[in-house]
Structure 1
């Protein structure tokens, strides 16, 4: 990885040019850098899936009143630069309550969490949710949303993060490194399991997460972090993760009254109205104070 000088981008029709003030670093960036992200751009490339900044220029068919406005944007790579051009449909006003650094965590982390818990997961008050990697970006976003809904929250994380997570409102923290989290979770729920699991790990974790579901439970999968490693080692780990994945038969799902769904936020760019509606709900949460990036 290195810093390079390149010609400034120009906004095409329907695009906004943003001068970046802060850019997120997401797991998708890491996997793309390792050559393990299917949607990653060919190298050499600029990473960066989400940014906050100031609109410097707009292309044709875009409201010129956006110029000089503070915004957040979903970039789908290219964001870790001084300037980035993105479709206007992926740009939203930055909340005044947030710094640029805080606001840059909104587009990917909170939209992913909202889709998993609310739009697709249908989490309700008093239901139980297991958040894997609870101390990560999506995990913390999911915790904010789950607590607002009034759900009971369980999270896997290393012991060093437990105190912080409890202070953020996590009801039960489980150290996945020192114990088998599944029997611990079953014990905490009196053997019932949870209504929703969100799992970015992949591989054999998906089998255990499915086993953690109670009747009518749902599992949302949104990544395969167990495959993360550089070079040949990463490709071997990715292959092992794929081979160890469970296979979900529709008849088996039907007979067990359970559901499995997946999310790739990078494939939602064409769903502008839907993403805008989710973003509006998140912004209301920021204004109300229960979203804390």
Structure 2
């Protein structure tokens, strides 16, 4: 089968198309012919060497999410059959025509969605749900500040927060504001020209927001903490700004009774990722079926053009998900 591999760490050019053997089916696995493959920030980090050569248990190939059609099922699989349309999260190996996925991390694709649309769901929506609802416990009527709201996880988080009845503050570059408002943001903040802490203070009469979902890290830390209301919760999902030390206003943390969480999916044990997928599915699959929430696709590329897809993500211009399509470009 065709796949994307690399012989060394580096820029997008190290990603090359090659022929590899199909993955071997294990007792709990589904073998899926991929129709759409999500590109994620973790793929960029892996390509650059941030994770070493760790394969996280499933494959030496990169890639964390798929949507496609089941071609075979393992002996201990329950609830899935050959021919089912599925989407979900894998422990590596999605940059290929075929992938194996533990059936406990797979979800059936609602009839109303295409498989290409389904390829833009699992990683971003599961991550957003885990951060906002499982960890931060966002409630209807509360307010949330979501950074990097034009990206894959950010745009998913905006939709989920809006659907849950929260007031949504969102940071993004001005050119992405229309798209972010379309996802349900109430207040859009241009991070290039506005101070989000000042906007939150003005819009909430100094109270602050109940939840902050942050992808940036050090440069936002102090302002994030000062933007939280009494009893507020912040979840750090990424470190796009780098891992450098940052000042922490401990007096604000202490006297406002704040809570700060960190979450990442790629390196979590399989049973933890299974629980994350199942929590999302139980609450939101119906909303995907009826259109309350929807996948946001920025662009699609042929599998062999994975390098171009990585360049698109690194440019920061994308709104929503970037997908690889194994059948695209074939004669």
Query: Which residue is 2:180 aligned to?
Result: 165
1:280 corresponds to which of 279, 282, 288: 282
Distance 2:36 2:106 in 1: 14
The CA RMSD over aligned residues, in Å, is 2.3
TM-score, structure 2 length as denominator?
A: 0.78
Whole-angstrom CA distance in 2 between matches of 1:70 and 1:142: 25
Q: Residue 39 of structure 2: SS of its match in structure 1? A: coil
SS at match of 2:136: coil
Deviation at 1:41? 3.4
Correspondence for 1:29 among 21, 38, 43: 43
Partner of residue 9, structure 2: none
Alignment partner, residue 270 of structure 1: 271
Q: Give the conservation status (yes or no) of the 8 Å contact 2:126–2:280.
A: yes
SS of 2:202's equivalent in the other structure is helix
Does the 8 A contact of 1:193 with 1:213 survive in 2? yes
In structure 1, C-alpha distance between the alignment counterparts of 2:52 and 2:222, rounded to whole Å: 23
Q: Distance in 1 between matches of 2:73 and 2:247?
A: 47
Deviation at 1:46, TM superposition (A): 2.3
**Structure 1 residue 58, shift from structure 2 partner:** 1.8
Q: 2:138 aligns with which of 115, 123, 131?
A: 123
Partners of 1:119 and 1:172 in 2: CA distance:
24
Match of 1:16 in 2: 30
Q: How many residues align?
A: 277
Deviations 1:231-283 (A, max 9, x none): xxxxxxxxxx33x234586x974433111011112316313345313212120
1:6 and 2:20 correspond: yes
Report the Cα offset of residue 53 of structure 1.
0.4
Structure 2 unaligned blocks of 5 or more: 1-14, 296-331
Distance (Å, rounded) in 1 between the aligned partners of 2:129 and 2:277: 10
**Displacement of 1:286 after TM fit?**
0.9
Normalised TM-score (structure 1): 0.87
- Aligned equivalent of 2:110, options 80, 84, 95: 95
For structure 1, the 5+ residue unaligned runs are: 228-240
Higher relative contact order (CA 8 A, sep 6+): 2
Greater share of helix? 1
